[in-house]
Amino acid sequence: MIFDDFGMDTASLAGSLEGKLAAVRRAGFSQVMIAANDVVGHPSGAKAGVKAVRDSGLRVTGLEALRDFEGLDGRMHAYKVDVAKSMLEVCGELGGRLLLVEATTSTHAAADAERIARDLRMLAILAIPMGIRIAYKGMAWSRTTKNFAAAGDLVFRANCPNLGVAIDAFDVIAARISRDELDAIDPEQIYLVQLSDYMWQEIRSAEEEAATATHFRVFPGEGAHSDGLADFITKLDAIGYCGNYSFDVYNDDYLQMPPETVAQRAQRAAEWLGETVLRRALPIPNMERLRRTARA
């Protein structure tokens, strides 16, 4: 039995968009994070990609990922605003309510916090008429925003009601960030938590971290840091996080396996997290809202 707030990511799976969505659904998930290229790269065009997602019956966790958006000048800024608008439109057509924005890793980007906050704020206002929330995620190899604490500071500075952070558990574990750092962040400001693990105990360099993050992630429960992950999401639960958990597992091996097989691994991960780690009993529809209402 899979809880409603766990979802898969189309980037974890091989094959056609329709095949990925069917595998996610068959494994018992009710939501899916959509990698933009899966939709716009649909062989019959972006409209067909949107239709496939809408017809799947799966809820869209969000669309990923707008990259290298903030801190640019002049023509580059205008270009990125156009890219952002296009992604917001696709997100809106999918019925998605969240756009994942990864902190810039561009050397052209200014590192000035005020400037970054202003750009994030503009992005958030662009998203308001469409009812989309912006989840800003720190990147370990970003010059300006390396982790969720830095992302949280910028989000606080930008101060827009539909701007929050996404936390990637991989980054937290790889950088050995203390779970107590979560105390500094308002749980209402956490819009998405991404979960994955990896096989080796230690990451020795930034290059190795980047390679691991993009090619060698595994599902929670399959890697070397199950205790750390369990600890992390127990803490999130304790501070009152009630948003979605998405498995952002990017693994070259999984892209050579049938999507059904990979989705079954995701299913095992969701069961482990829901039943063993969070010790939940019955899945309830609209869990997020009910829990939020109960807390209020």
Partner 1 sequence: MTNLMDREAVSEPHNVLGMDGIEFIEFATSKPQALVGVLERMGFRPVARHRSREVELYRQGGMNIIVNAQAADVPRTVQPTERPVLSAFAVRVRDADAAFHRALELGAWEIPVRARAMELNIPAIHGVGESLIYFVDRHDEFSIYDIDFRAIPKVDPNPPALGGLHFFGLVQYIGSERTADWVEFYSQIFGFAPLPDSKRFGILPKGLLLESPCRTFYLQLIEPDDLARFAPAEEHLQRIGFGTPDVLSTVDVLQKRGVEFLTSEKVHVSERGALTTAALGSVMFELVHNEPGNAAAPR
Min dist. Cβ of residue 161 to partner 1 (A): 4
Identified binder of partner 1 from the candidate list 63, 123, 203, 270, rule CB under 8 A: 123
The torsion defined by the Cα of 172, 177, 178 and 179, in degrees rounded to 10, comes to -20
Map the footprint of partner 1 across residues 29-88, applying CB under 8 A. Answer: 85
Q: 92 or 223: whose CB is closer to partner 1?
A: 92
Contact of 248 with 9, CB cutoff 8 Å? yes
Is residue 128 close enough to count as binding partner 1 by CB under 8 A?
A: yes
Q: What is the CA radius of gyration of the chain?
A: 18
Q: 27 or 120: whose CB is closer to partner 1?
A: 120
Q: 43 or 129: whose CB is closer to partner 1?
A: 129
Closest by CA to 27, choosing from 42, 12, 7, is 7
State the Cα angle at 166 between 163 and 172, rounded to 5°: 145
Q: 89 or 253: whose CB is closer to partner 1?
A: 89
Mask for 152-191, x = binds partner 1 (CB under 8 A): --------xxx-----------------------------
- CA dist 56 and 67 (Å) reads 27
CB count in 10 Å sphere of residue 260? 15
Min dist. Cβ of residue 278 to partner 1 (A): 24
- CA dist 295 and 69 (Å) reads 35
Min dist. Cβ of residue 127 to partner 1 (A): 8
Element (H, E) at 99: strand 98-102
Contacts of 75 (CB under 8 A, 6+ apart): none
Q: 25 or 292: whose CB is closer to partner 1?
A: 292
Which of the stretches 35-43, 68-76, 105-113, 117-125 binds partner 1 when contact is defined by CB under 8 A?
117-125
Which of the stretches 40-48, 120-128, 141-149, 195-203 binds partner 1 when contact is defined by CB under 8 A?
120-128
Min dist. Cβ of residue 172 to partner 1 (A): 28
Q: 57 or 129: whose CB is closer to partner 1?
A: 129
The torsion defined by the Cα of 63, 65, 70 and 75, in degrees rounded to 10, comes to -100
Place of tokens 């597992």: 249
Q: Which residues bind partner 1 (CB under 8 A)?
A: 85, 89, 121-126, 128-129, 131, 160-162, 286, 289
